[in-house]
Amino acid sequence: MKGNQKDSSEKPIWDRSSSGISMTRPGRLIIWLILFISVTYIIYTLKIVSTTHPCEDLTSESILQQRPEKKAVTVTVKAVPAEQEATDLNHVVFGIAASSKLWKQRKEYIKIWYKPKKMRGYVWLDEEVKIKSETGDQESLPSVRISGDTSSFPYTNKQGHRSAIRISRIVSETLMSLDSESKKNVRWFVMGDDDTVFVTDNLIRVLRKYDHEQMYYIGSLSESHLQNIIFSYGMAYGGGGFAISYPLAVALSKMQDQCIQRYPALYGSDDRMQACMAELGVPLTKEIGFHQVSKVLFGFGYFCEMGFCLDWFDYK
């Protein structure tokens, strides 16, 4: 009897709870929102993967015949000799990739970190710009240079822009801009974009770990797993900056133009640089302090491709 009473008393409660289950309007909106984001991400990913063109030219006999027959350079990692003078800012030359269209805004980012009396470097532009003396640009910025003509180089990537060829040659052009006296104490070439911000104390501390007389290509990957899949896990991203030792810069300058000719289908300057490093047999030495932060992912505007710096993630 108690059991029957218990059942009869609980049944209305069970009926109310079960019959009252319904999908509220806010719940439906959340589910639709999640589905929309998921579908959008899948479509975006498939589009990127499907529109990434392989370098068909690399398999043709004509291109293979152009490849140098030299064997790959063997990279021997050596500790920095104890008696050697420690690397400092006077041993580093900066090469900054910039655009004349964005120069008015981007030059302000360079002023944040560049110290003309302590540093050497060049800003490489595609066209001449007006540098006003009253703004203090001449005293607070690196020397401005115009990149060489790259119209003769082939570029077949439909998603990219051929300015990538110009930017990929900045290290070589910076080396050629130095006279024989200036080259004597150069140990490293450091490249970055006009919105890359360097904290030079951190940069120098890391460069001191490596023997500048050996071939080194130092940088870091993107924070995006998808970008690393598409563009390679062995490529230094220029948005975060990267460093090249003097011997490697010399070797690169001797073969880079021929190397660029062999890779017309590559997207940007970073993967062109990495392709030439691969031909030289020099792998990427990864240093996580070269922060590459995506504008698309975080939307921080121009001030987002942080270089070797105290980013939002403090580098220790």
Overall average pLDDT of the 78-107 stretch? 86
Distance CA 222, CA 262 (A): 25
- When pLDDT is cut at 50, 70 and 90, the band that residue 23 belongs to is low
Q: Is 283 helix (H, G, I), strand (E, B) or coil?
A: coil
pLDDT at 295: 45
- Looking at 3.20.10.10, 3.30.465.10, 3.90.550.50, 3.40.50.1980, the CATH number of the domain 89-286 comes to 3.90.550.50
- Report residue 70 as tokens: 């030299």
Helix orientation angle between 269-280 and 246-261, rounded to the nearest 10 degrees: 110
Q: Give 26-85 pLDDT, tens digit per residue.
A: 778 888 888 888 887 777 667 665 654 444 444 444 444 455 554 444 445 455 555 578
* Cα first-last separation, the chain: 74
Cα→Cα distances 153→89, 149, 254, Å: 34, 9, 16
pLDDT at 142: 93
- The dihedral built from the CA positions of residue 176, 177, 180 and 185, taken in this order, carries a sign that is negative
Distance CA 94, CA 189 (A): 6
Distance CA 83, CA 86 (A): 9
- In the predicted model, is pLDDT for residue 160 greater than 60? yes
Cα→Cα distances 71→68, 77, 282, Å: 8, 18, 12
Q: Give 253-312 pLDDT, tens digit per residue.
A: 999 999 999 999 999 899 999 999 999 999 999 998 887 765 433 333 323 343 443 333
- Report residue 105 as tokens: 């805004």
- Report residue 43 as tokens: 């479509």
Strand partners, 92: 188
Are β-strands 242-245 and 188-193 bridged in parallel, bridged antiparallel, or unpaired?
A: antiparallel
Tokens 């690397």 locate to 87
| Higher pLDDT among residues 217 and 8, named by residue | 217
Q: Give 183-229 pLDDT, tens digit per residue.
A: 999 999 999 999 999 999 999 999 999 999 999 999 988 777 777 77
- In the predicted model, is pLDDT for residue 99 greater than 60? yes
pLDDT at 137: 79
Cα→Cα distances 248→82, 161, 244, Å: 22, 26, 6
- Report residue 263 as tokens: 């890779």
Overall average pLDDT of the 150-179 stretch? 94
CB 193 within 8 A of CB 238: yes
Please name the helix (run of DSSP H) or strand (run of DSSP E) that holds residue 174, with its range, or none: helix 170-177
pLDDT at 30: 85
Q: Give 227-236 pLDDT, tens digit per residue.
A: 777 777 888 8
CB 96 within 8 A of CB 194: yes
Q: Give 109-151 pLDDT, tens digit per residue.
A: 999 999 988 999 999 999 998 876 656 777 889 999 999 999 9
DSSP 247: H
